[in-house]
Chain A
Amino acid sequence: MAGGAAMGIWAKKKDQAMIELSGVAKSFTLYNQGGAAIPVMAGAALSVAPGECVALTGASGAGKSTLMRMIHGNYLAASGRIVVGGLDVAAAEPREILALRRHVLGYVSQFLRVVPRVPTLDVVAEPLLAVGVPVEAARDRAAALLARLNIPRPLWDLSPTTFSGGEQQRVNIARGFAHDYPALLLDEPTASLDPGNREVVLELIEAAKARGAAILGIFHDAGARARVCDREVDVSAFAVAP
């Protein structure tokens, strides 16, 4: 596998952090409304070790998703260091962040964003193709995940854009767990799932922890949080009062 050689570099010792934030600040500047910079977060710090699952907590609007987006490189940090697998995302080039996302850092968001008309099976297999897994092996792995997440087989050849919210969420999870990322960001992975599928997702998270993945997640589902998370970090502590 093409990612094999690269993975060795990122393989960390058990007690060494896979995700490490220090002094992270974020502000938004709304140029079309006067151009004032609005600080929303300052001094954010946390670390996640391999095999550990950490929950981000705090009231709605406290900045949980903003922090996750900064770690993913989707939002730009105003200052601070965001080191994932040895790369400082806050200072990295686009191609470095994309390589990180391909090999190291998976992200299960609440929304599925795909090219229209691409079959579900290919949507789920794509992260594997991106790291050089042969097409047949990638499709087999995608099929196994879709079956495990109870997506009916007749739907696999259809685009997920027309699926129900719960089905889209499960396709999103299958895609996020297709490649064995050393680090994972999970935004409400069990939201809008029935008990059976919730159990499958929790088992996937436990299996990822067992193979050494460092996981940072937002879980409003208190039972799920208690079961898979080792620690909690309250992001309210980093919020800047408006």
Chain B
Amino acid sequence: MRAGAFRAEAPVAPILSVRGLTKRYGGRVGCEDVGFDLYPGEVMGIVGESGSGKSTLLNCLAGHLRPDAGEVLFDLGKDGMRDTLALSEPERRRLARTDWAFVHQNPRDGLRMTVSAGGNVGERLMAVGARNYGAIRASALDWLGRVEIAADRIDDRPAAFSGGMQQRLQIARNLVTGPRLVFMDEPTGGLDVSVQARLLDLLRGLVRDMGLSAVIVTHDLAVVRLLAHRLMVMKGGRVVETGLTDQVLDDPQHGYTQLLVSSVLQV
């Protein structure tokens, strides 16, 4: 009955399927036996305190770290589900430039600070084969507008931007090629709360309008409440609880999640 009732909306196939993902640092556990399915248009938040393994997991998923065991299956369209860990290096790089995007906590890690704002956005387009200067510049302008950066800043370098503007530019650079899956590592970390709110609203709109799937690592429960459809709570490298975001936050089933939720300062 369940499957029938939702045929009209929910696509049946996941875009990302993770199985038994494990990463150890010598004898220490980075993350252990993590598995989940992510569906198109779905935003999953990974929460947990520092050292819980959430960043290790994200970097294993995105191909920045080589896990010791497990599979990261991604829907490559005509080629079907492929284990991205088994792709050749050129194939993986192509994926990182086209279907995937990675938004770093520190925009300096995701931007080229000596290249103009327009160049930062255009560079990613050129990496996937765009050559017409006019079209690239028009596309860069369009994306600067979407992330609320004034058109007259297109030739400025990101070093002259505020932290919030740099983060929005990093998002424009990442999304200009129309990726299907975005990894985000503390995307609102280090920003003023007012800047955070604007960024959250922007991300929500982009996720909805582009139908993006995303995996977001953060320790900020307020951010996941507004951005993530579902949550994965990690402790000591293991997943201790998963579920619908508001359910996990309002009716946590695991002792650690209860502690995490009750530790948030009320304003």
* Interfacial residues, chain A to chain B (CB-CB below 8 A): 5-6, 8-10, 28-32, 35, 69, 73-76, 85-88, 91-92, 94-100, 102-103, 113, 115-118, 129-130
Please name all residues of chain B whose beta carbon is closer than 8 Å to the beta carbon of A117 when the two chains form the complex: 194, 197-198, 201
Q: Are A85 and B5 in contact (CB under 8 A)?
A: yes
Given contacts A32-B258, A118-B201, contact A87 B6 (CB under 8 A): yes
Name the distance in Å between B188's Cβ and chain A's nearest Cβ: 12
Please name all residues of chain B whose beta carbon is closer than 8 Å to the beta carbon of A76 when the two chains form the complex: 243, 247, 251, 253
What separation, in Å, do the CA atoms of A87 and B194 have in the docked complex?
39
Enumerate B227-267 residues with CB–CB distance to A below 8 Å: 229-230, 243-247, 250-251, 253-255, 258-259, 262
Asked if B65 is at the interface (CB within 8 A of a chain A CB), the reply is: no
- Closest B residue to A118 by beta carbon equals B201
Name the distance in Å between A162's Cβ and chain B's nearest Cβ: 13
Asked if B109 is at the interface (CB within 8 A of a chain A CB), the reply is: no
Name the distance in Å between B257's Cβ and chain A's nearest Cβ: 9
Asked if B28 is at the interface (CB within 8 A of a chain A CB), the reply is: no
* Interfacial residues, chain B to chain A (CB-CB below 8 A): 1-2, 4-10, 39, 42, 193-194, 197-198, 200-201, 204, 208, 225-226, 229-230, 243-247, 250-251, 253-255, 258-259, 262
Q: Are A74 and B251 in contact (CB under 8 A)?
A: yes
Identify 20 new A-B residue pairs, CB closer than 8 A, beyond the known A31-B258, A76-B251, A118-B201: A9-B4, A31-B255, A32-B255, A35-B255, A73-B244, A74-B247, A76-B253, A86-B2, A86-B5, A87-B6, A92-B2, A94-B243, A95-B10, A95-B230, A96-B6, A97-B244, A99-B6, A115-B200, A115-B204, A116-B193
What separation, in Å, do the CA atoms of A117 and B225 have in the docked complex?
16
Please name all residues of chain A whose beta carbon is closer than 8 Å to the beta carbon of B251 when the two chains form the complex: 28, 69, 74-76
Given contacts A88-B2, A129-B208, contact A6 B246 (CB under 8 A): no
- Closest B residue to A75 by beta carbon equals B251
Please name all residues of chain A whose beta carbon is closer than 8 Å to the beta carbon of B250 when the two chains form the complex: 69, 74-75
- Closest B residue to A72 by beta carbon equals B246
List the 5 closest A-B pairs by CB distance, nearest first. A31-B255, A6-B8, A86-B5, A116-B197, A94-B230
Name B5's contact: one of A10, A32, A91 (CB within 8 Å). A10
Name the distance in Å between A134's Cβ and chain B's nearest Cβ: 12
What separation, in Å, do the CA atoms of A109 and B6 have in the docked complex?
25
- Closest B residue to A114 by beta carbon equals B226
Please name all residues of chain B whose beta carbon is closer than 8 Å to the beta carbon of A96 when the two chains form the complex: 2, 6, 10
Please name all residues of chain B whose beta carbon is closer than 8 Å to the beta carbon of A74 when the two chains form the complex: 244, 246-247, 250-251
Please name all residues of chain A whose beta carbon is closer than 8 Å to the beta carbon of B254 when the two chains form the complex: 31
Name B2's contact: one of A5, A73, A87, A102 (CB within 8 Å). A87
Name the distance in Å between B206's Cβ and chain A's nearest Cβ: 13
Please name all residues of chain A whose beta carbon is closer than 8 Å to the beta carbon of B7 when the two chains form the complex: 9
- Closest B residue to A116 by beta carbon equals B197
Please name all residues of chain A whose beta carbon is closer than 8 Å to the beta carbon of B9 when the two chains form the complex: 6, 99, 102-103
Name the distance in Å between A174's Cβ and chain B's nearest Cβ: 19
- Closest A residue to B2 by beta carbon equals A87
Q: Are B229 and A95 in contact (CB under 8 A)?
A: yes
17 A-B residue pairs with Cβ-Cβ distance under 8 Å, sorted by A, are A28-B251, A29-B253, A31-B254, A31-B258, A69-B250, A69-B251, A74-B247, A86-B5, A87-B5, A87-B6, A94-B244, A98-B229, A115-B197, A115-B226, A116-B197, A117-B197, A117-B201
Q: Are A98 and B244 in contact (CB under 8 A)?
A: yes
Q: Are A95 and B258 in contact (CB under 8 A)?
A: no
Name the distance in Å between A172's Cβ and chain B's nearest Cβ: 16
Name the distance in Å between B263's Cβ and chain A's nearest Cβ: 10
**Which residue, B194, B244, B258, has most C-beta atoms of chain A within 10 A?**
B244
What separation, in Å, do the CA atoms of A35 and B230 have in the docked complex?
25
**Which residue, B4, B10, B208, has most C-beta atoms of chain A within 10 A?**
B10
What separation, in Å, do the CA atoms of A9 and B193 have in the docked complex?
42
Please name all residues of chain B whose beta carbon is closer than 8 Å to the beta carbon of A9 when the two chains form the complex: 4-5, 7-8
Please name all residues of chain B whose beta carbon is closer than 8 Å to the beta carbon of A130 when the two chains form the complex: 208
Please name all residues of chain A whose beta carbon is closer than 8 Å to the beta carbon of B259 when the two chains form the complex: 31-32
What separation, in Å, do the CA atoms of A87 and B3 have in the docked complex?
9
Q: Are A95 and B247 in contact (CB under 8 A)?
A: no
- Closest A residue to B250 by beta carbon equals A74
Please name all residues of chain A whose beta carbon is closer than 8 Å to the beta carbon of B262 when the two chains form the complex: 32
What separation, in Å, do the CA atoms of A88 and B7 have in the docked complex?
15
Name the distance in Å between A38's Cβ and chain B's nearest Cβ: 13
What separation, in Å, do the CA atoms of A85 and B1 have in the docked complex?
10
